[in-house]
Amino acid sequence: MKKREALDLKCEEWEALFEGWKEPRYRASQVCDWIYKKRVLGFDDMTNLSLPLRSRLKEALDLSLPVLIERRQSSRGDAIKYLWKLHDGESVESVVMRYEGRDTACLSTQVGCPLGCSFCATGKSGFVRNLTSGEIVGQFLAMEADIGDSIENAVYMGMGEPFLNLDAVFDSVRNLNHPKMRALGIRHIAISTVGIVSGIRALAHSGLKVRLAVSLHAPNDDLRTQLMPVNVSNPLSSLYKALKSFQEITGERISIEYMLISDINDELSLADELADYLKGLHVYINLIPYNPTDGSFKRPPRGRVEAFRKRLEELGYEVALRKGLGVDIEAACGQLRRRTLI
């Protein structure tokens, strides 16, 4: 019989497993403590469990992390990028961003992505499959193991679209957040979506208080559809309604990601249009200079990025300019996997 992946198990499933074995329920806390808090990934090393129980766990479950294929550290030391191999030989990337004393794990949710945004290396490689909850959590734990320290923030901004893999993504958030498991603060977790309206609505009703980031990148349907084909089925008007109702239900501020590509979406008139579109929403805007992938687009000159930012600020928005972390290690997700595939 195929073993279950231990990292897929929810807290209640661990408890049910031990109950079924006529073991006390607190065994679940003990095992989760080893895995999620002490970073011990072998049942053999769980010394407060009896030897027969350790053997039984080994027979029933597979407890393993994704396997490192490649690791790259940026020259400034502000990012480490990993390429991992999964059980079926597929590969995904994740990144640890180390910025002003805060470590943040950037997690992938799919192998590839079916949405094909024109600027994105992941989109260009096509779609292979969804990740399981255990594979998402596994990236986080593997990076903590690699740096030998705890990471206190997670962003679902790696390869893939989280809202096309809702169940696994929500389960992984619950396991990272659960007090008996990784106990990561829910406010320290953010999900980035390309703007899947049904997913935004599902998140609003899920009760998960994670932060929401939306990759907008263009303030009108013509331009947005050119860059992001998903805009045809999720146009800006529907997206706006979903964001508005998300805000009414959760009371949360939303992060709007706007990547600036030279001569494509960095005209000042687009800053005005963006400001208009966002009226009535409580947002902050993250401007991200495009990270060149294959030469078809360019990053705007610094002055143009600053001008775009200034205009939005003048129009009353809070704007952050995201540093181009780890440009030298191809930190835009999807780039490393794509290069190793070609």
* Piece in contact with ligand SF4 (CB under 6 A), picked from 30-38, 119-127, 267-275, 307-315: 119-127
State in angstroms the smallest separation of the CB of 291 from ligand SAH. 3
Token digits for 222?
């013509």
CB 63 within 8 A of CB 6: yes
Q: Does 93 bind ligand SAH (CB under 6 A)?
A: no
Select from ligand SAH, ligand SF4, none the partner in contact with residue 288, using the beta carbon and a kind-dependent cut-off of 5 to 8 Å: ligand SAH
Q: Which stretch binds ligand SF4 (CB under 6 A): 31-39, 54-62, 120-128, 174-182?
A: 120-128
Q: Which of 92, 117, 176, 243 binds ligand SF4 (CB under 6 A)?
A: 117
Question: Is 115 near ligand SF4 (CB under 6 A)?
Answer: yes
For ligand SAH, the binding residue among 107, 143, 259, 278 (CB under 6 A) is: 259
SS3 307: helix
Instruction: Give the chain's largest Cα–Cα span.
Output: 69
Q: Report if residue 169 touches ligand SF4, rule: CB under 6 A.
A: no
237: CB partners within 8 A, 6+ apart: none
What value, to the nearest 5°, has the Cα angle with vertex 214 and ends 209 and 219? 145
- Of residues 175 and 192, the one with the C-beta less far from ligand SAH: 192
Q: Which stretch binds ligand SAH (CB under 6 A): 35-43, 168-176, 284-292, 306-314?
A: 284-292
Distances, alpha carbon 252 to alpha carbons 8, 104, 249, 317, in Å: 29, 21, 8, 16
Kindly state the smallest distance separating residue 216's Cβ from ligand SAH, in Å.
9
CB of 106 closer than 8 Å to CB of 97: yes
> Which of 100, 106, 80 has its CA nearest to residue 213?
106
Residue 7 phi/psi, 5° resolution?
Answer: -75, -10
CB atoms within 10 A of CB 143: 25
134/160 with CB nearer ligand SF4: 160
Give the interface segment with ligand SF4, choosing from 15-23, 32-40, 116-124, 143-151 (CB under 6 A): 116-124
Tokens coding 297: 């687009």
* Cβ distance to ligand SF4 smaller for residue 46 or 199: 199
Nearer Cβ to ligand SF4, position 180 or 217?
Answer: 217
* Residue 250 parent element (H or E): helix 236-250
Stretch 182-201 residues interacting with ligand SF4 (CB under 6 A): 194
